[in-house]
């Protein structure tokens, strides 16, 4: 797991393509004495495993699935990439929970200066669009951001985020231009809620149990229909 708070910006040193796994070599200012083979590092939001280290350069491998779902197929040596090492239990969580599992590739449609900040509009398509929620969290190339606005149109969804000067300075988002592609990971909580609502309706009725008044009742008020919108509303979640 990651936080979406970028630790440093590295640069692609080399990219070795093959018919199966690809190897990406990255130069950075990471203290590699604190990195070991097998560690996970988010590279532009994709969780990748360190397979080799030499000097200031480390290597990671990408499966064909990772290449298909991300922007790495369009990267070239010299391109900047956002880097974040995996979250340790007990660390502060200042961003949001980021898995490093890229959902889709988005396209930059518009960039509008807002004082010292930059408002950026992205366009995405496909199943991931339903998990993009106004004032919810999203990771763009691994950067934890808040969704400002969402506009659906047919199969496309457009959404905006605000990039403050500090984020522009400390991440590779500074190089984005209209037409640029980015890795997009939606908030994992939305997927779990959706799954619970679907599967909950097929769950059998819970066994009766004794409540604290000695009366027999169901577990927490879950009826035979399982967890559904009515249950969440009665419990104050909606």
Task: Give the whole-angstrom CA distance, residue 51 versus residue 96.
Answer: 27
Tokens representing 117 are 């900040």
Task: Give the whole-angstrom CA distance, residue 122 versus residue 59.
Answer: 30
Task: Give the whole-angstrom CA distance, residue 89 versus residue 93.
Answer: 10
Task: Give the whole-angstrom CA distance, residue 137 versus residue 135.
Answer: 7
Q: In the chain, what are the domains?
A: 8-85 (2.40.30.20), 104-188 (2.40.30.20), 201-234 (no CATH)
The pLDDT value recorded for residue 87 is 85
Please tell me the total number of residues recorded for the chain in this structure: 238
Q: Which of 155, 122, 126, 139 is nearest to 189 (CA)?
A: 139
**In whole angstroms, how large is the CA radius of gyration of the chain?**
21
Task: Give the whole-angstrom CA distance, residue 112 versus residue 114.
Answer: 6
Task: Give the whole-angstrom CA distance, residue 184 versus residue 44.
Answer: 10
**Terminal-residue alpha carbon distance, the chain:** 28
What phi and psi values does residue 133 have, to the nearest 5 degrees? -125, 135
Tens-digit pLDDT profile for the chain (238 aa)? Answer: 898 999 999 999 999 998 889 999 999 999 888 899 999 999 999 999 999 999 999 999 999 999 999 999 999 999 999 999 998 776 777 778 899 999 999 999 999 999 999 999 999 998 889 999 999 999 999 999 999 999 998 889 999 999 999 999 999 999 999 999 999 999 888 777 877 777 765 655 555 555 555 554 555 555 445 667 777 778 776 6
Q: What's the pTM value of the predicted model, to 2 decimals?
A: 0.81
What sign does the dihedral 134-138-140-144 (CA atoms) show?
positive
């Amino acid at each position: 797991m990651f936080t979406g708070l970028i630790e440093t910006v590295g640069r692609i040193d080399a990219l070795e393509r093959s018919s199966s796994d690809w190897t990406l070599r990255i130069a950075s200012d990471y203290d590699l004495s604190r990195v070991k083979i097998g560690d996970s590092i988010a590279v532009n939001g994709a969780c990748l495993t360190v397979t080799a280290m030499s000097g200031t350069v480390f290597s990671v491998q990408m499966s064909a699935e990772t290449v298909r779902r991300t922007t790495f197929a369009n990267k070239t040596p010299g391109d900047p990439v956002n880097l974040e090492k995996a979250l340790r239990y007990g660390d502060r969580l200042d961003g949001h929970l980021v898995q490093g599992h890229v959902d889709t590739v988005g396209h930059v449609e518009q960039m509008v200066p807002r004082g010292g900040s930059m408002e950026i509009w992205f366009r995405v398509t496909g199943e991931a669009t339903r998990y993009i929620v106004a004032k919810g969290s999203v990771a763009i190339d691994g950067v934890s951001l808040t969704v400002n606005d969402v506009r659906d149109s047919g199969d496309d969804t457009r959404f905006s985020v605000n990039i403050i000067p500090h984020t522009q300075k400390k991440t590779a988002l500074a190089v984005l231009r209209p037409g640029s592609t980015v890795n997009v990971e939606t908030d994992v909580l939305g997927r779990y809620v959706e799954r619970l609502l679907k599967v909950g309706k097929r769950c059998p009725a819970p066994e009766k149990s004794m409540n604290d008044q000695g009366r027999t009742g169901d577990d927490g008020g879950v009826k035979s229909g399982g967890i559904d919108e009515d249950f969440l509303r009665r419990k104050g979640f909606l």
